[in-house]
Structure 1
């Protein structure tokens, strides 16, 4: 427990005090987000590269606190690839294929260092688990890492949204990892939460700096990788749903976006204004209220994830049914699958 307290305090402090330096650096090298279309909510140029502060808080704290082994080296090396690519993208936007290649390289580094989804709990088998062969383990792991990395990147549309939701998800997954004796995973996730929270005072509306792709890709990458080590490998009856619920906001928002674009016959990579935060803004809510509502939803799903980690199969099923009804209500209420209000670029 003392390790976790030190981790969150140190990561918070490093992120908080390095963010003003990131603001100065962004201005100096021209990493400024200039609103070019109506999808951007801000109206004035805002410096980005805030993700550097989040990365430093996590990276430095992890090196000092976590026992460094092959898997940790893989995670840190992969994060360097992600952050390096994010910095380049924040300076001069790079293509989607180039970003995907960078994400695949980062995921490949982690997998080669032994971080893989090797088994999942299965209450319908006698042993309670299903072992994945190497042929399945590697692609499933890479798909999870690349997928989550991009989902967090896609929700980074309002001041403080990605940082706050990621912090809630990290704390949720840290709790699950801690109660399952996954000490290293818990500490890494706490480092990430502390770094994201340390950045929030500068990023919450009205934002003084954006995290940019440097931050959103990094947050998604670490959440994806560390959840493999912690939540997915927990002994809960329906453990596979723990990270899905903890990361519910980015996962469901991205899923709805893909379905919505498919139904309207548009390319799934074509941006629109149909995301959760856009829908709430269209209801007349302010940026702050919208972000706080999404924090609340993220917290609700996070609590569900924690309850599942402590429940048997029957209890977990009841929780999932209630969550499904809640999500269905949101889909209907906000018309998340309807293209009608989606103003495309």
Structure 2
């Protein structure tokens, strides 16, 4: 890795830390906050912190584009910004789940420049972006979970990617997420919102178009697949506002009692074995993702 690449990765991290600090202050002033559902006192924290990640990633990728003169950086950035914009609008307007599912596919439009213009290939691309972006948005809800998982996935898929430009894009994004994670980890001072989670899946799919092995990405998505299957089979495509949140008892997370608003998810299956503190549950899921990342290195 060249010195300029390391500098770009560090730039993304430092910008993410700086912008997140600014966003926390500004969103608190504006009152753009939401409840932290897994705390007894349910404190209200800024809820669209992903705008800081987006700003850091954008500046860093623009710098990479001018330094390396590769059009790939511009295409990936456009796809990222498209998805981030959809996420931001959803954070503010609260789309119905089916409408967000459809709109998430728009992140695939810039990526058409990276594939053969064939009907079947186009359909597969739109399907993949829609599913992946929603998966990285669904396995969520606990302090640091989404940003940490995203950084882990981006890091390991970067290690498996032979193309240097693809590696740099993925590591820049991972660094921006880690900068945000400093404030998003337990106890969170800010939440990413859809603007922070939807683009992760889009960029991961984009990486497979520029050299990342798809089968290794599939391995990294196993927790998301399990989570999505459990949720879909137990409550279908509904808003999380229509369901019971995971309960907190004496500082430990436990699945809610059975009822017509209860459902299964990866986190709730884990909690059925043993109640855990929030940071412990997140650590377990991170650990699972790291193990899968190690598998991608040896297969």
Q: Structure 1 length as normaliser, TM-score? A: 0.73
**CA distance in structure 1 between the aligned counterparts of 2:32 and 2:102, rounded to whole angstroms:** 23
Going from structure 1 to structure 2, the CA distance change for 1:98 and 1:29 (only over 3 Å counts) comes to farther
**CA distance in structure 1 between the aligned counterparts of 2:48 and 2:69, rounded to whole angstroms:** 27
Which residue of 2 is the match for residue 194 of structure 1? Answer: 175
Q: Report the CA distance between 1:307 and its aligned residue.
A: 1.3
Paired residue secondary structure (2:160): helix
Going from structure 1 to structure 2, the CA distance change for 1:68 and 1:104 (only over 3 Å counts) comes to farther
Going from structure 1 to structure 2, the CA distance change for 1:97 and 1:157 (only over 3 Å counts) comes to same
Q: Report the CA distance between 1:270 and its aligned residue.
A: 5.9
1:57 aligned to 2:56? yes
Which residue of 1 is the match for residue 222 of structure 2? Answer: 248
Going from structure 1 to structure 2, the CA distance change for 1:26 and 1:69 (only over 3 Å counts) comes to same
1:304 aligned to 2:273? no
**CA distance in structure 2 between the aligned counterparts of 1:228 and 1:255, rounded to whole angstroms:** 26
1:291 aligned to 2:282? yes
Q: Report the CA distance between 1:188 and its aligned residue.
A: 0.3
**CA distance in structure 1 between the aligned counterparts of 2:20 and 2:82, rounded to whole angstroms:** 21
- Aligned 8 A contact 1:54 1:196 in 2: yes
Q: Report the CA distance between 1:141 and its aligned residue.
A: 1.3
Q: Report the CA distance between 1:69 and its aligned residue.
A: 4.3
Which residue of 2 is the match for residue 5 of structure 1? Answer: 6
- Aligned 8 A contact 2:28 2:45 in 1: no
Paired residue secondary structure (1:94): coil
Going from structure 1 to structure 2, the CA distance change for 1:84 and 1:270 (only over 3 Å counts) comes to closer
Structure 1: unaligned runs, 5 residues or longer: 119-132, 233-239, 309-345
Paired residue secondary structure (1:33): strand
Which whole-Å deviations, capped at 9, do the CAs of 1:3-60 have from their partners, x for residues lacking one? 432232111111011111111222233321136xxxx424221211110111122111
Q: Report the CA distance between 1:256 and its aligned residue.
A: 3.4
1:145 aligned to 2:129? yes
Which residue of 1 is the match for residue 38 of structure 2? Answer: 41
Q: Report the CA distance between 1:150 and its aligned residue.
A: 0.3
- Aligned 8 A contact 1:170 1:189 in 2: yes
Which whole-Å deviations, capped at 9, do the CAs of 1:284-307 have from their partners, x for residues lacking one? 111111111111100110111121
Q: Give the 5 Å matches for 1:111-190.
A: 111=112, 113-114=113-114, 116=115, 134-177=118-161, 180=162, 182-190=163-171
Kindly report the root-mean-square deviation, in angstroms, between the aligned alpha carbons of the 2 structures: 2.1
User: What is the aligned length?
Assistant: 272
Which residue of 2 is the match for residue 130 of structure 1? Answer: none
**CA distance in structure 1 between the aligned counterparts of 2:202 and 2:25, rounded to whole angstroms:** 26
Q: Report the CA distance between 1:166 and its aligned residue.
A: 0.8
Q: Report the CA distance between 1:142 and its aligned residue.
A: 1.3
- Aligned 8 A contact 2:16 2:52 in 1: yes
- Aligned 8 A contact 1:31 1:91 in 2: no
1:267 to 236, 240, 251: 236
Which whole-Å deviations, capped at 9, do the CAs of 1:248-287 have from their partners, x for residues lacking one? 32233213333x33xxxx4344655422223334521111
Structure 2: unaligned runs, 5 residues or longer: 241-261
